Amino acid sequence: MYIPSSITAEKRSRLESGECHRLTCAAVPLPSTGLVSMENKEPQAVAELMNMALGFIKPMSLKCALDLGIADQIYSHGRPMTLSQLQSALSLPQSKEPHLRHLMRILTHFGFIQMQIDANTSAEPIYDITPMSSLVTNKEGSLNLVSLVRFRLESIEENIKALLCMAEWLKQGDNKQTPFEMAHGCRLWEMASENSRLNESFNSSMASTTSLFTNVIIKSGGDIFKGIESLVDVGGGIGKVAKSIASNFPHVKCTVLDLPHVVRDLANDGVVKFVSGNMFDYIPPADAILLKFVLHNWGDDDCIKILKRCKEAISSTEAGGKVIIVDAVVGRPRAREYEETQLLLDMLMISVHAGAERDENEWESLFTKAGFSSYNIARTIGLLSVIEVYP
């Protein structure tokens, strides 16, 4: 530290002791062009930019792994496999083994597969499944999301076409169409009603969320259903979640409300009642209304309309009457590590439905405008939160 000789002995002592560490010399800031900092960060910036531009390769690598059945093959084998064992088991030509190695390398990088190398031997590396890849295997008794993941991957062409219209859509302030409608001339629901393959894939993907829903709500405690005797699952598809609720909480009488093409072939089985209809027009009365992965499909105005219909349908506030929402709450402290995935889903919801993944302030605004008195974020598990909204 430089201390001028002209300074008093008292101040010299205070400076030397560090007592004056909050005092700083005034300096005239020089204008910065940012050239030095930009030059130092340029290689990283180039890599990050290219990573964004090549981002489509990540889901396509995953689709390739699913189409080949890599994770299922390793799981069925019962132990890790070498590359040559995997190539043989998948019935791939010997000439493609080097290319398979490169596929396994990127799958390992993304955490879908793990590679183990014994540094003390010259043995081949071995490959094993990870918690991520176990979610798409036929492993019994575990969470299985293969239908959901396959739907996302198999509808990627339709979604990309919608995303390609995003810039033009943003320029058109009075355009009531979604980017998806601009690209395809119809909404996703309309396309699904006319396309049996897409409809089947979509319904299967929704059915696979039953396990996810079970993990989020049922296994984490049944207090959400305490005091509830009846429940309507709005947009409940073929009733997998409703049946799961009825099975775990027999005192809850469950009804599924969905569009005609979804429930037309489904019979009431005494466990779940199916009602054909549109949530914008009418929701059957019940103690609780369940909206799982529904509101993120819609813009704010439509969400308010749906929530108002839910409020009308709640039969009694004394019987624990409420709306139960299962959706993302972006930016929750306990979910920071999942925020990138939530933001990717946000862009998908905007492009396909003109919907959104919302933060807590945005949710609160919807509830207030729909006339609700209070809400509670009951729990957050991974990407999803459970929100209880009270009339």
Residue 141 falls inside a structural domain:
no
Confidence of residue 9 (pLDDT cuts 50, 70, 90): low
109 and 247 both lie in a single domain: no
Range of the domain at 122: 57-136
Residue 128 falls inside a structural domain:
yes
Segment among 146-155, 287-296, 343-352 with least mean pLDDT: 146-155
264 and 307 both lie in a single domain: yes
Which one of 136, 168, 203 terminates a domain?
136
Q: For 124, which DSSP code? A: P
CATH number, domain of 83, equals 1.10.10.10
98 and 157 both lie in a single domain: no
What is the Cβ-side half-sphere exposure of residue 266, based on CA atoms within 13 angstroms? Answer: 23
Residue 253 falls inside a structural domain:
yes
Residue 32 falls inside a structural domain:
no
Rounded CA separation 101/118 (Å): 17
* Residue 286, strand partner residues: 314
Residue 202 falls inside a structural domain:
yes
Confidence of residue 173 (pLDDT cuts 50, 70, 90): confident
Residue 280 falls inside a structural domain:
yes
Rounded CA separation 198/13 (Å): 79
The alpha carbon of residue 367 and the mean position of all alpha carbons in its chain are separated, in whole angstroms, by 22
249 and 152 both lie in a single domain: yes
Tell me the per-residue pLDDT of 246-270, one tens digit each, with 9 for 90 and over.
988 898 999 999 988 788 777 777 8
121 and 202 both lie in a single domain: no
What phi and psi values does residue 82 have, to the nearest 5 degrees? Answer: -80, 165
Rounded CA separation 290/232 (Å): 6
233 and 373 both lie in a single domain: yes
161 and 108 both lie in a single domain: no
Which one of 136, 170, 188 terminates a domain?
136
Angle at 128 between CA 127 and CA 132, to 5 degrees: 130
239 and 259 both lie in a single domain: yes
Which pLDDT value is given to residue 2? 43
Q: Can you spell out the DSSP letters for 98-123?
A: HHHHHHHHHHHHTTSEEEE--TTS-P
125 and 272 both lie in a single domain: no
From the candidates 21, 99, 251, 296, give the one annotated as an active-site residue: 296
Inform me whether the pLDDT recorded for 120 exceeds 90: no
Q: Are strands 253-258 and 230-234 parallel, antiparallel or unpaired?
A: parallel
Residue 239 falls inside a structural domain:
yes
Rounded CA separation 70/64 (Å): 9
Which residues lie closer than 8 Å to 83 by C-beta, 6 or more apart?
97, 100, 101, 104, 124, 125, 127
Q: Which of 175, 155, 183 is nearest to 63 (CA)?
A: 155
Tell me the per-residue pLDDT of 299-323, one tens digit each, with 9 for 90 and over.
999 999 999 999 999 976 666 799 9
Q: How many domains does one find in the chain?
A: 2
Mean per-residue pLDDT, 149-162: 90
The b/e string for 34-49 (b: 16+ C-beta within 10 A; e otherwise) is eeeeeeeeeeeeeeee
122 and 204 both lie in a single domain: no
What is the Cβ-side half-sphere exposure of residue 265, based on CA atoms within 13 angstroms? Answer: 4
Which one of 79, 112, 136 terminates a domain?
136
CA dihedral 255, 241, 335, 228 (to 10 degrees): 40
129 and 178 both lie in a single domain: no
Q: Is this structure's pTM higher than 0.85? A: no
CATH number, domain of 365, equals 3.40.50.150
Residue 296 is among the residues annotated as catalytic for this protein: yes
Residue 13 falls inside a structural domain:
no
